[in-house]
Structure 1
Amino acid sequence: MSLSEKGRTYVLFAIVVLACALGSLTQTVMNSMLGGVEADFGVNASVGQWLTTIYMLALGITVPAVTFLSQRLSLRNVVFLALGLFLVGGIVDVLAPTFGVLVFGRVLQAVGAGITLPVLQSIAMTRFPKGQNGTAMGIAGIAMGFAPNIGPLIGGALVDSWGWRSFFWLFIAIVVLLILAAFLLIAREDAPMRDARFEGVSFLYSALGFGGLLLAFSNAASLGVQSPLVWVPAVVGIACLVFFVARQKRIEHPLISMRIFESSRFRISFIAQNCLFASFMGITLIVPLYVQGLCGGSAVEAGIVFIPATILAVVVNPLAGILSDRVGARPVVIVAAALLTVGAVSMAFMDENTPLWMTTLMQTVRGMGVSALIGPLNSWGMSGLPREIMMDASAFFAAVRQACASLGTAIMVLVITSLSATAQSGAMDMSFAYQAAFGISAVLAACVLVVVIAKVR
Structure 2
Amino acid sequence: MLASAFGNLSQTAVNAMMPEIMGEFSLDVSLGQWLTTSYMLVLGIAVPAATFLGKRFTTRQHVFIALAFFLVGALADCLASNFAVLLAGRICQAVSTGLLLPLMQTIAMTRFPEGRRATAMGIAGIAMGFAPNIGPTVGGALSFSFGWRSFFVLLLVGVAVLGVATALLVRGGEGNRSERFDTLSFMLSALGFGGLLLGFSEASSFALTSPFVWGPLAAGAVFLVLFVRRQKRVDDPLINMGIFKSGQYTVGFAVLCLLHASFMGVTLVIPLYVEGLCGGTALDAGIVLLPGTLAALFLNPLAGVLTDRFGIRPVTVASGALLAVGSVLMVFLDEETPLAVTTFCQAVRAFGVSGLMGPLISWSLAGLPGRIVTDGSSFSIAGRQACASLGTSAMVLLIALAGTSAAAVANPALPYQLAFAFSAVFAVATFVGIVAKVR
Q: TM-score, normalised by structure 1?
A: 0.95
Q: CA deviation at 1:306?
A: 1.1
The answer on 1:410 being equivalent to 2:400 is no
Which of residues 347, 350, 368 in structure 1 aligns to 2:351? 368
Partner of 2:223: 240
Shift of 1:443: 0.6
Matching residue of 2:305: 322
* One-letter amino acid of the counterpart of residue 13, structure 2: V
Q: Distance in 2 between matches of 1:256 and 1:225?
A: 31
Q: How does 1:422-433 map to 2 (within 5 A)?
A: 422-423=405-406, 426=409, 428-433=410-415
> What is the number of equivalent residue pairs in this alignment?
439
Partner residue of 1:448? Answer: 430
Match of 1:349 among 332, 346, 352: 332
Trace 1:127-276 onto structure 2 (pairs within 5 A).
Answer: 127-187=111-171, 189-191=173-175, 193-276=176-259
Change (3 A) 1:234 1:188: closer
Q: 2:278 aligns with which of 284, 291, 295?
A: 295
- Residue 423 of structure 1, CA deviation: 4.3
Is it true that 1:102 corresponds to 2:102 in the alignment? no
Alignment CA distance shift 1:44-1:203 (3 Å): same
Q: Point out where structure 1 has 5 or more consecutive residues left out of the alignment.
A: 1-16
Q: Conserved in 2, the CA contact under 8 Å of 1:216 and 1:233? A: yes
Is this contact kept in 1: 2:43–2:95, CA < 8 A?
yes
CA shift, 1:450, in A, is 0.3
SS at 2:112 equivalent: coil
Letter in 2 for 1:370: V
User: Residues of 1 paired with 2:242 and 2:423: CA distance?
Assistant: 31
In the alignment, which residue of structure 1 is the partner of 2:108?
Answer: 124
Once residues 384 and 270 of structure 1 are traced to their aligned partners in structure 2, the CA distance between those partners, rounded to angstroms, is 11
Alignment-mate amino acid for residue 56 of structure 1: M
Distance 1:53 1:259 in 2: 31
Structure 2: distance between partners of 1:304 and 1:225: 34
- Verify the 8 A CA contact 2:59 2:171 in the aligned structure 1: no
Tell me the C-alpha RMSD between the 2 structures.
1.0
Matches of 2:256 and 2:170 in 1, distance apart? Answer: 31
Give the Cα–Cα distance (whole angstroms) in 2 for the partners of residues 189 and 202 of structure 1: 26
Identify if the C-alpha distance between structure 1 residues 425 and 336 changes in structure 2 by more than 3 Å, giving closer, same or farther: closer
Q: Cα deviation per residue 1:433-452 (whole Å; 9 max; x = unaligned)?
A: 10010001001000010011
**Residue identity matched to 2:163:** I
> How far apart are 1:424 and its partner, in Å?
8.0
Matched residue, 1:69:
53
Q: Residue 334 in 1 paired to residue 317 in 2? A: yes
SS in 1 for 2:177: coil
How far apart are residue 251 of structure 1 and its match? 1.7
C-alpha deviations, 1:108-143, integer Å up to 9, x for none? Answer: 000000011100110000010111011011111111
- Give the Cα–Cα distance (whole angstroms) in 2 for the partners of residues 424 and 262 of structure 1: 48
1-structure distance, mates of 2:146, 2:236:
50
The alpha carbon displacement at 1:225 in A equals: 1.3
Percent of residue pairs identical = 54
SS in 2 for 1:132: helix
Q: Tell me the secondary structure at the aligned position of residue 198 of structure 2.
A: helix
Name 1:8's counterpart in structure 2: none
Shift of 1:337: 0.2
CA contact (8 A) 1:272 1:448 kept: yes
Report the CA distance between 1:189 and its aligned residue: 3.9
Structure 2 residue identity aligned to 1:451 = G
1:285 aligns with 2:268: yes
- 1:429 and 1:32 map into 2 onto residues whose CA distance is 30
Question: Which 4+ residue blocks in structure 1 deviate beyond 3 angstroms?
Answer: 423-426
Counterpart contact for 1:423–1:430, Cα < 8 Å: no
CA contact (8 A) 2:46 2:99 kept: yes
Cα drift, residue 229 of structure 1:
1.0
Gaps of 5+ in 2: none
Q: 2:11, 2:408 → 1: CA distance?
A: 37
Distance 2:30 2:311 in 1: 47
Structure 1 residue identity aligned to 2:52? F
Does the residue aligned with 2:174 lie in a helix, a strand or coil?
coil
Residue 188 of structure 1: CA displacement? 5.5
Q: CA deviation at 1:92?
A: 0.3
Partners of 1:207 and 1:261 lie apart in 2 by: 20
Contact 2:189 2:223 in 1 (8 A): yes
* Separation in structure 2 between the aligned mates of residue 41 and residue 326 of structure 1, nearest angstrom: 53
Higher deviation after alignment, 105-114 or 224-233:
224-233
Taking the aligned partners of 1:394 and 1:419, their CA distance within structure 2 comes to 37
Equivalents in 2 of 1:204, 1:187: separation in Å? 31
Normalising to structure 2: TM-score of the pair?
0.99
Structure 2 matches for 1:34-53, cutoff 5 A?
A: 34-53=18-37
Judged with a 3 Å threshold, the aligned counterparts in structure 2 of structure 1 residues 159 and 316 are, in CA distance, closer, same or farther, namely same
Q: Structure 1 residue aligned with 2:416, among 422, 434, 439?
A: 434
The 3-state SS of whatever aligns with 2:181 is coil
CA contact (8 A) 2:71 2:159 kept: yes
| Matched AA of 2:137 | L
The reply to whether residue 84 of structure 1 matches residue 71 of structure 2 is no
